Amino acid sequence: MAVFLILFATSIFLIYVWFQYKFTYWSKKGVDGPKPVFLYGNIRDALRRKDHFFQPYCDSYIKFKHLPYVGMYSFYRPVLCVNDLDLAKRILIVDFEHFQSRGIYSGGPNDPLAENLFNISGKAWKQLRVKMSPTFTSGKLRTMYPFVESVASKALSYADLYYSKGKPIDFSEFYDRYAMEIIANVGFGVECNILTNPQSEFDCCAREYFEIKSLYWSIIRAFAFIAPDLFSKLRIRRISPKVENFFYGLVKETVSYRQKNNYKRNDFLQTLIDLMNGQIVNENGDIKRVHDFPFSMNSVAANAMLYMLAGYETSAKTGQFAAYQLALNPHIQTKVRDEIDRVLAKYDGQCTYEAQNEMVYLNMVLDETMRLYPALRAIFRRCNKPYKLPNSDVVIEEGTLVFVPIQEIHMDPELYPEPKKFDPERFAPEKKAKLHPCQWMPFGEGPRKCLGVRQGYIQSKLALIKILQKYELLIDERTSVPLKLKTSCLVWAAEGGVWLKLRELNNNNDK
Ligand code: HEM
């Protein structure tokens, strides 16, 4: 027993010494930063879920704002936190070839859904990005638009039902379901009625993916960030088999039905099937042959999953927080409604693709919403080629993670006076055009910037357009003002939800 205790104490001591040695990494390079603690580095509270995952990097911006960059540790791994906008521009845009990957472990050979555009890097990413970009042209989005519009009409029926029962609506739940129904419809080509059927298998499996409840999968997710190389060597599964089997099976079945029956649908899944068939088809049906680009069934399934991974929480949260701010700011809500009425009158009351595009003020409202609540509170990259920081001797080594804490950049009073004030005028087109490219980054920046920006605006705003024509939004007492950040989610989510009451326009009864 004594021998065991001595061995145990010696091991702890050696691990402690090893960590202390690792923690000299930045000081040896002359880079300042917050003091790390044994085992955790600078992410202890985030790991214990007392803080949000990205909070340490946001705190570092506030504390070390006078420095262009700060050295931190995620466990023992060095992380560079970038505070200076010009340096962020170098890393994300100008010198992108040194920072091409996000550095998350995306999954092993048993994870057919993990190899999607968001997760991969290097040559495979570059090729796929080029091939997938035509999917997001305005012409293509116009052909997919009727599906989104039909889901937004269902969302209005959902609101009508709640109003008729005199119940307030939790816009977090409502927008989550609405966004998921769009993903099912446009991304996977299936209609699941998620808005009316909370038991839908699609929604249940998707929630299991996003709202991880078991400790095992929480740890796997955290370590996919922290120890990607170790995970890669161990070939650990990244997604639970239940979730993987459901979505893979669904895509396979749908693809085989379409291929067998020569059935085509103008959705995102079809563009992936076309790629598998060696084609890029534009909105007019013109076919361009694609050579030397292997795109398998796994690629189709993984990139259908990409639509969910990248387009669900992001657009759902943006829509619900915009609704919250409109309820808090009735004069802005009235201005948005006036714009909706004016534009729709021009289009005979039809909310067409062109009509929603003309709603400039509503876009400004979404921009200001994403300034306050960027879905991803930090943008991250992994250095893939040594990089000498401009005007210094510091070399960033391959494998180092780099974080840009966009939430705190968005809240910096020197960049945005009265940063807590909701003021869409900051994003009037002429003002937005003059912003530093890294001053407002809810969609990221550079060659890895969000590919679905336009689709993101459409999804976030369509349900709002429908509802604001008929109802006034009011804050319900259950909603925290200001909103409280949920620490258990990777994206910006509101603790306790966003509860709003509806008042039918031209009828003074609010319910
Ligand atoms: C309001 C809604 C949305 C927001 C706020 C948003 C935000 C983001 C952010 C922050 C990133 C990371 C960018 C970076 O690392 O620089 C990203 C990547 C991406 N997003 Fe979005 N997104 C939205 C909607 C969508 C939608 C609807 C799609 C459709 C599929 C989409 C597709 C993608 C893709 C494919 C990437 C990865 C691009 C790459 O790595 O090459 N996003 N998005």
CATH number, residue 449: 1.10.630.10
Mean pLDDT, residues 265-286: 89
Name the domain count of the chain.
1
Residue nearest to ligand 1 atom 30, measured at CA: 307
Instruction: Please say if the pLDDT value at position 460 is more than 90.
Output: yes
Measured distance CA(110)–CA(103) in Å, rounded: 19
Ligand 1 atom with the smallest distance to the CA of 102 is: 15
The percent of residues above 70 in pLDDT, for the chain, comes to 99
- Lowest mean pLDDT: which of 195-209, 320-334, 360-374, 487-501? 195-209
For range 191-217, the mean pLDDT: 86
Atom 20 (ligand 1) nearest CA: 450
Least confident of 10-24, 184-198, 229-243, 416-430: 229-243
Distance 438 CA to ligand 1 centre (A): 16
Q: How confident is the model at residue 135 (pLDDT cuts 50, 70, 90)?
A: confident
* Torsion angle, alpha carbons of 263, 268, 271, 277, to 10: -60
For 448, how many CA atoms within 13 A lie in the half-sphere containing its CB? 25
Q: Flag whether pLDDT at 510 surpasses 70.
A: no
Q: Which atom of ligand 1 approaches the CA of 370 most closely?
A: 5
Burial class (CB in 10 A: 0-12, 13-18, 19+), 458: buried
Quick one: tokens of 450? 């969000």
Per the domain annotation, does 215 fall within a domain?
yes
- Is 5 contained in some domain? no
pLDDT value for 113: 87
Tell me, in angstroms, the distance from the centre of ligand 1 to residue 223's CA: 22
Distance from residue 494's CA to the centre of ligand 1 (Å):
20
Residue 109 has pLDDT above 80, yes or no: no
Calculate the average pLDDT of the chain: 92
pLDDT given at position 411: 98
Gap from CA of 242 to ligand 1 centroid (Å): 25
Any ligand 1 atom below 6 A from CB of 117: yes
Pocket test for ligand 1, best of 181, 314, 317, 382 (most atoms within 8 A of CB): 314
Residue 433 lies in a domain: yes
| Per-residue confidence (pLDDT) for residue 441, from 0 to 100 | 98
pLDDT at position 24? 96
Protein residue closest via CA to atom 16 of ligand 1: 444
Q: What is the mean pLDDT of residues 93-113?
A: 87
4 within some domain: no
Q: What is the predicted pLDDT for the residue at 25?
A: 97
* Residue 240: pLDDT over 80: yes
pLDDT on residue 341: 96
The rounded distance, in Å, linking the Cα atoms of 148 and 27 is 52
Considering the domain boundaries, does residue 1 fall inside one? no
pLDDT value at 370 more than 60: yes
The predicted pLDDT at position 336 comes to: 98
Question: Which residues does 434 contact at the CB level (< 8 Å), separation at least 6?
Answer: none
What domain range is 249 assigned to? 30-504
For residue range 67-92, list pLDDT tens digits in order: 999 999 998 999 999 999 999 999 99
Residue 455, pLDDT > 60, answer: yes
Instruction: Dump pLDDT digits (tens) for 308-355.
Output: 999 999 999 999 999 999 999 999 999 999 999 999 999 999 999 999
User: Is it the case that residue 107 has pLDDT exceeding 80?
Assistant: no
* pLDDT level of residue 511 (50, 70, 90 thresholds): low
User: Is the distance from the beta carbon of residue 71 to the nearest atom of ligand 1 less than 6 Å?
Assistant: no
Assess if residue 11 is contained within a domain: no
CA of 339 from ligand 1 middle (Å) equals 27
Q: Which long-range contacts (CB under 8 A, 24 or more apart) does 61-66 make?
A: 61/405, 61/408, 61/409, 61/412, 62/408, 63/34, 64/32, 64/33, 64/34, 65/412
pLDDT for residue 61:
96
Question: Cα separation of 239 and 489, whole Å?
Answer: 17
Our answer on whether the CB atom of 491 is closer than 6 Å to any ligand 1 atom is no
Reply yes or no on whether the pLDDT at 208 is more than 70: yes
In a domain, 103, yes or no: yes
